[in-house]
Copies of this chain bind each other. A is one copy, B any other.
Amino acid sequence: MKTINKEEISYYFKTLQDSICKQLENIETKATFEEDLWQRDGGGGGRTRVIRNGNVFAKGGVNFSSVHGKTPQAILKSLKLPPNDFYATGVSIVIHPLNPHVPIIHMNVRYFEMSDGTFWFGGGIDLTPIFIDENDSKIFHQSLQKICNIYKEGAYAKYKKWADDYFFLPNRNETRGIGGIFFDRITGDKKEIFDFVKNIGELFAPLYLSIIKPHINKSYNSQDIKWQSLRRSRYVEFNLLYDKGTKFGLDTNGRTESILMSMPPVAEWEYCYKTTPNSAEEKTQLLLKKEIDWTL
């Protein structure tokens, strides 16, 4: 049996980026992805694709990268390893839709290996509705549960909890959205994990599109836009205060514009904002909690 090498994984991620961009563009009539190729000092580079001012997508990025070089000190230290080389490749997506009834989504799949043979996969996908729709949440989590079940028994429960803990804002005591799955430094049977990661990647666009299609033409008012801007500010807080990927990227001199493509087009902060009792805003606010079983 042939083993899967890093070039194969990287090539797969590149085709995944192509496929996802194409599927997202299919639902757009006003915008297409722009592409920027960039090189990394020290080795490798990436292909950043950004869409903006669309009729569905206000701002979004679907980024591929494949970088290599000397392994960062922090990783060597955490694993008590002598200096070696690393190779990392992945696809990272954040989409901020225009309509407040359409949820923000994030997906990331990544592969990391070192010259000593150590390797792992990481990834995650989570949904951040401006207004939580319980039916959408059920579809989203059931779909994730299904691909986790193909991979390994217990994986959904484990990675769902991991997402609950990861996509959490301690400063607000609230989750970023309805969560999803998250995992990091998963190692073992490389083909099995890679198949799982492929399934996440290939689930992304069809699942997201099926969830958003019923909402993209819904009407909204200025208060809905205000609530969307406030929720987007929480997204900013999460990404800049707590997201490890953002911090790692900026600390290791990554390409700032590619990393911060995750920022919303606009965000708003209001001191001590209070939702109206019994409103859709309040309902959403009350559901920004860990440990909700959305599959039921």
Task: Report A239-296 residues with CB < 8 Å from chain B CB.
Answer: 240-241, 247, 250, 256-257, 259-261, 263-272
Q: A269 touching B36 by the CB < 8 A rule?
A: no
How many identical subunits does the complex contain?
A: 2
A43 to chain B, nearest CB (A): 20
Partner-contacting stretch, out of A77-85, A119-127, A229-237: A229-237
Task: With CB as the reference atom, state the residue of chain B lying closest to A273.
Answer: B257
Tell me the interface secondary structure of chain A in the complex. Answer: mixed
Task: With CB as the reference atom, state the residue of chain B lying closest to A267.
Answer: B267
> Which single member of B59, B171, B264 contacts A256 (CB below 8 Å)?
B171
Q: B256 touching A265 by the CB < 8 A rule?
A: no
Q: Does A103 contact B (CB under 8 A)?
A: no
Q: Does A91 contact B (CB under 8 A)?
A: no
Q: Does A61 contact B (CB under 8 A)?
A: yes
Return chain B residues, CB-CB under 8 Å to A256: 171-172
In the bound assembly, the distance between CA atoms of A263 and B171 in angstroms comes to 14
Given A172-B256, A271-B59, A250 and B241 contact (CB-CB distance below 8 Å): yes
Q: B61 touching A229 by the CB < 8 A rule?
A: no
Q: Does A130 contact B (CB under 8 A)?
A: no
Q: Does A52 contact B (CB under 8 A)?
A: yes
Question: Interface residue tally of chain A, by bracket?
Answer: 20 to 34
Q: Interface centre among A237, A263, A271, by most B CB within 10 Å?
A: A271
Return chain B residues, CB-CB under 8 Å to A270: 52, 265
Q: B269 touching A268 by the CB < 8 A rule?
A: no
Q: Does A50 contact B (CB under 8 A)?
A: yes
In the bound assembly, the distance between CA atoms of A50 and B269 in angstroms comes to 13
Q: B59 touching A269 by the CB < 8 A rule?
A: yes
Q: B268 touching A268 by the CB < 8 A rule?
A: no
In the bound assembly, the distance between CA atoms of A219 and B59 in angstroms comes to 30
> Which single member of B170, B250, B257, B266 contacts A268 (CB below 8 Å)?
B266
Task: Report A164-189 residues with CB < 8 Å from chain B CB.
Answer: 170-172
Task: With CB as the reference atom, state the residue of chain B lying closest to A96.
Answer: B269
Return chain B residues, CB-CB under 8 Å to A59: 269, 271
> Which single member of B172, B233, B250, B259 contacts A263 (CB below 8 Å)?
B233
Return chain B residues, CB-CB under 8 Å to A266: 229, 266-269
A140 to chain B, nearest CB (A): 26
Q: B269 touching A260 by the CB < 8 A rule?
A: yes
Q: 15 more A-B contacts (CB under 8 A) besides A170-B250, A171-B250?
A: A36-B272, A50-B271, A52-B270, A171-B256, A229-B266, A233-B267, A240-B241, A241-B241, A241-B247, A241-B250, A265-B269, A266-B266, A266-B269, A267-B268, A267-B269
